[in-house]
Amino acid sequence: MRFNIGNQRLKYKGVEKALSYNNDRIIEFNHRHRTVLANYDITLKKATIFSLDDRINSQSNLGALRNRQLRESGIVSAALSAVGVALHGRGALNDIPSEQRTKAVTNELKRANDRMAAQIMAEVLHITANKLPVGEEVLIASTITEGVRVKPGKEAGGNPTIAVGALFGKREHRSQYGLPMTNNVTLLSMGSDVIDGTTKSVKGLHSSFTALFLTESGVKRHLPDIYVQRWMGGAYFDEFNPREASLLDAAEIISKAYGLSGPEKLNAFFLERKRHHLAMDELNKAGVGTPYDDDGDLFPALILGFRDAELPDGGQLNSMIGEIGGSAEWAVGVLPLVWRGGQAIGMLTSQTTLTRTDLSSAQKWHQRFHFTEEEFMLMQDARFEQKPYFTIRDIMEDPFAGGISTFGAITDNYYLPHL
């Protein structure tokens, strides 16, 4: 009922359609991305596309991403940033003598990997957007990231990432940002978590990856970079106020959305953190399984309810019920989940309180809404003081605008074995 996915990984049981690139496709790909690939002195030698699900979401369209170079640049950006970390920083902590593996050393290596991923991800997008022909031009604005929350590091805010406000496009378009754009230039919003599972990346552990999305939708408000409590499922459920619903109420709502006989058929993912122990205990008593992981809660959101990804007991990873993690991970994971027909609710919590070392598990859980003055100001600035819970529609103008979501594996992925 409660187990570590690092010890009991998911298996893929479904049908997969494989399309291997022939020589002509490889030549075309290398030509389309020649400027980016030349920057790193590499070319594509082999590629295979695995189609895992043929269901189509009819609410969206490609829009500006009909341009294959632009669309593929999102994939290349996530992939090459993962390759860079894999070559230069994956498992870096294992090369340090055990007596020297202090928290400071670990943080230095983690930030180095963040820096590597952010640098390459940004370079690929900049080179691509700067070379698009007239009529296909875009201006990409970074709108969602974890670059605000203070972490140990050299950069402002301490966290090397692609900051909110970063722009990728031709110089003349960047200078016009915030003003009306010409009709032939499409403004794209970008969300990123340059590495999800940064600790795993330096230890060489499973399921560390790079993540980003590009969308034609504008962003209504910026998520404060503090912790977000989340309720998610791969099946759509109506919005509810989590302040007025207990964990078991939420489990009942999500199980009904799946058409299950009761909450005992659910498995709810959690990060292994003291702040979650009380919630996990309560759900376990109601028969809800609580598989957990030591680091990284973005990828589990992507595959919630994915019918062909099975836990060792044959069950599905189908929900998050009260789990608390980063706001960037919430947004970057929720958008593709919603594209798949799922639903997610988030609610801001106090990162300061939840990271205090002098509080017990129960105290952290019960005091998760004890905001500092600085955190409350962030909530007010983002207009969340009146409605502290939200869905992706509260964040984005049109979640079903043309978009693409991409991920690059730094280490073997235990949730989707193809990565």
Give the pLDDT score at 385. 76
- Please spell the DSSP secondary structure of 65-89, one letter per residue: GGSHHHHHHHHHHHHHHHHHHHHHT
Q: Do domains 67-219+405-409 and 227-395 have the same CATH topology?
A: no
Give the pLDDT score at 248. 98
Interacting residues of 220 by C-beta distance below 8 A, sequence separation 6+: 394, 395, 396, 397
Residue recorded with tokens 């496709």: 25
Measured CA to CA, the distance from residue 159 to residue 161 in angstroms comes to: 6
Residue of 156 and 184 predicted with greater confidence = 184
- Tens of pLDDT, residue by residue over 264-309, are 999 999 999 999 999 999 999 999 999 999 999 999 999 999 989 9
Average pLDDT over residues 165-188: 90
Check pLDDT > 70 for residue 60.
Answer: no
Residue of 71 and 160 predicted with greater confidence = 71
Check pLDDT > 90 for residue 361.
Answer: yes
Length of the chain: 419
One-letter amino acid identity for 5?
Answer: I
- Which is nearest to 292 in space by CA: 262, 275, 308, 272? 272
Mean pLDDT of the chain: 92
Measured CA to CA, the distance from residue 85 to residue 69 in angstroms comes to: 24
Check pLDDT > 90 for residue 48.
Answer: yes
Give the pLDDT score at 155. 60
As a whole number of angstroms, the longest Cα–Cα distance in the chain is 61
CA distances from 35 to 39, 89, 93, 174 (A): 6, 25, 34, 20
Average pLDDT over residues 4-13: 95
Give the pLDDT score at 341. 92
Check pLDDT > 90 for residue 112.
Answer: yes
Interacting residues of 126 by C-beta distance below 8 A, sequence separation 6+: 168
**Total-model pTM:** 0.92
Q: What is the CATH number of domain 227-395?
A: 3.40.190.90
Give the pLDDT score at 378. 84
Query: What percentage of the chain reaches a pLDDT higher than 90?
Result: 80
Give the pLDDT score at 222. 82
Query: pLDDT category, 418, cuts 50, 70, 90?
Result: confident
Residue 266 three-state SS: coil
- Tens of pLDDT, residue by residue over 374-405, are 888 888 888 887 787 999 999 999 999 989 99
Check pLDDT > 70 for residue 153.
Answer: no
- Please spell the DSSP secondary structure of 388-413, one letter per residue: -EE-HHHHBS-TTSSEEEEEEESS--
Burial (0-12, 13-18, 19+ Cβ within 10 Å), 56: exposed
Token duo for residue 77: 């950006």
Contact 52, 303 (CB under 8 A): no
Give the pLDDT score at 148. 52
Check pLDDT > 70 for residue 249.
Answer: yes
Residue 375 three-state SS: helix
Residue recorded with tokens 């997610």: 344
Q: What is the CATH number of domain 67-219+405-409?
A: 3.30.540
Check pLDDT > 80 for residue 158.
Answer: no
In the chain, what are the domain boundaries?
A: 67-219+405-409, 227-395
